[in-house]
Chain A
Amino acid sequence: MQDTDEAELIALSLAGNSEAYSELVNRYKNAVYYHCFAIVRDEDVAEDMAQETFISAYYKLKQYKNKYRLSTWLFRISTNKCLNYVKRKARETPADDALVASIASQHLGPYGHALDDELRRAVEHLRPKYRAVISLYYWQGFDYATTAEVMGAPLNSVRVWLKRAKEDLRKELI
């Protein structure tokens, strides 16, 4: 299965071949997990969101249109799930602004050694939507158009979000 073409794997999955779908999951699971982590900032939640992404994708596979890459479609599903999670959490836990601010400033984040502390801290302070576009554009390597497709937003909005995200980061990093 490892050498099988993606379109064939999708066709086999639609025919109920679980080995084929398993191969698709293996190809994208780490990328989707990393992307979810960039948005939700919790490994356990990111893994749950990634699993939900692949489960939803399986049920919706018939709706997948091959004019987009499969990765674009998967990232769109996962981005929606993660942003919904962040919104839901914000609703469930009434935000005490002072508390949130104090916790946010006290935690450095789990990003590990690849990201220097300063940048890491600054990214954590971004709005979830900005973290999502930063992850898609810089860390997943998508272009503007694909990032817009994943976000389900106009191209210009994505450009503006990226610009604002970078401005916010710059302010933090000065």
Chain B
Amino acid sequence: MKDVASMLSQHTPKPKRELTPAFTQTVLSEIQQHPNGPPKPARIKLFLYFLKTAPGIALIAIILALSGIGTYAAVIQTRDNTNGATIEISPDDPTVITLDLKNCRVPLFHRPEGPTPLGREPTYNGPTKFKIIQPDIMPATKVKATILAWCEQQSVRAFYGKTHPLWFPEDTSPSYDQHFGEIISTTPDSITIKYAWGRDYETATYPRQAALVVYKDGRAVAQDTLRAGDNAVFIIHQPKDTTAPNWKPSTPNASNSTLVSIAQTEYNVAEYSLFEATNRRVFAPLNIYNEYRALEVADTFYRKTYPAWFDSGAAPYHSMQRGDIKAITSTTITITLPVYTPQKGERNVDITYPISNSLTIYDNGKRVEISSLKAGDRALFIIALAPGAPYNPPDGPSPTNTSLISIAKL
């Protein structure tokens, strides 16, 4: 029999996506906008007032309110597809763009594992400068369209999450999946689409079904509004073969899947998807651009060189953590990491590890001596859990429940 308690202790589920960088700022903005408490729905207050003072007028109020609610609901739905992002290309340096992303959840840069030490995260309050990583293949104008496309994709995903939550309980091993592309042609009986798949486009012709739901700007619209050339997000249902142990979705087509919904979009979302599949990230915050590049190199290097460390279910589990080197002696190294415990929340913790003979140090993917490290350096640390140690030790990681395996300079 499996030891469920032990399995649970050693495996903490993590969402794939980290919190958006503007999380705290969003909370503060909301509080600052309403310093005296959460906003009360004005219509209800007004209606209650009417009900108390003039019951006869209340009936008219109900009718007016209902008509108003209809309009209001439409406005709320429309906002799902409005991100309010502004993007400016620097006139002095075409590889630098200024973004004010507001509510748009673009993954501004990739964090391999875990957050940076507190107080060291770049902030994104208001307009922030970003540097394009590969301007030769993705120039600023394309990046701009890419970001708008990405914002739109997020809005569409959020929209479907609300209108059809059962389609997307999560986003791996999809039965229902989003595909990005455009409509090639339509006939009364069929719809031909082109969508991004892996690193290329595919085309498929689906029979037109009455149940196919089409949305535009967050509202359901008639199927006959679809036109060749329209950009769109396609929701395709491809049932999983539960008898196949390593089932993966096949390239969707009419014989293995059903086109269940289409959301028309303004921008070409497929382009971003294809670009990211080939080139990873598009841009990085200007003030940490160099560190970001080093992080990309280190992350790729470790995953390529030591894939077993990051295998599903591999033991011991290795984690990558960004942090700072606080001090080095001939026998020990003290590092600063953000650590969470229920007792004290997330905070920076100094951990002193012995320097073992097996500790490896890398700089830009090349092995270097420990003497190249100094106090104050940022680094990516590879830390292994000691056998049998709980994933979340009550007092956080320590030299007894974890070991420091490798360091990459950033």
Contacts and interface: CB of A to CB of B under 8 A. Distances in A.
A27 B13 contact: no
B1 A170 contact: yes
Interface of A is mostly: helix
Interface string A114-154: 11110110011000000000100011111000100000000
Contacts of A51: 23, 26-27, 30
Chain B, interface residues (CB within 8 Å), range: 35 or more
A120 B13 contact: yes
Given A41-B170, A110-B171, A71 B13 contact: no
Interface stretch (B85-93, B188-196, B336-344, B374-382): B336-344
B276 interface: no
A159 B313 CA distance: 28
Given A22-B24, A114-B391, A71 B166 contact: no
A161 interface: no
Interface string A12-30: 0000101001101111111
A117 B12 CA distance: 12
Contacts of A10: none
Contacts of A58: 27, 31
B390 to A, nearest CB: 8
A25 B5 CA distance: 30
Interface stretch (B67-75, B157-165, B294-302): B157-165
A127 B132 CA distance: 45
B165 A89 contact: yes
Chain A, interface residues (CB within 8 Å), range: 35 or more
A75 B343 CA distance: 12
Contacts of B157: 44
A113 B30 contact: no
Pick the 3 closest A-B CB pairs, nearest first.
A27-B345, A111-B13, A116-B313
Interface of A: 2, 6, 16, 18, 21-22, 24-31, 33-34, 37-38, 41-47, 50-51, 54-56, 58-59, 69-72, 75, 89, 93, 99-100, 102-117, 119-120, 123-124, 134, 138-142, 146, 166, 169-170, 173-174
Interface of B: 1-2, 4-5, 7-9, 11-20, 23-24, 26-28, 30-32, 35, 37-38, 105, 115, 118-119, 157-158, 161, 165-176, 239-240, 242, 310-313, 317, 340-348, 390-392, 394
18 contacts: A2-B347, A28-B345, A37-B15, A44-B158, A47-B23, A59-B38, A102-B239, A103-B169, A109-B13, A110-B172, A115-B13, A117-B312, A117-B313, A141-B394, A142-B342, A146-B342, A166-B8, A170-B1
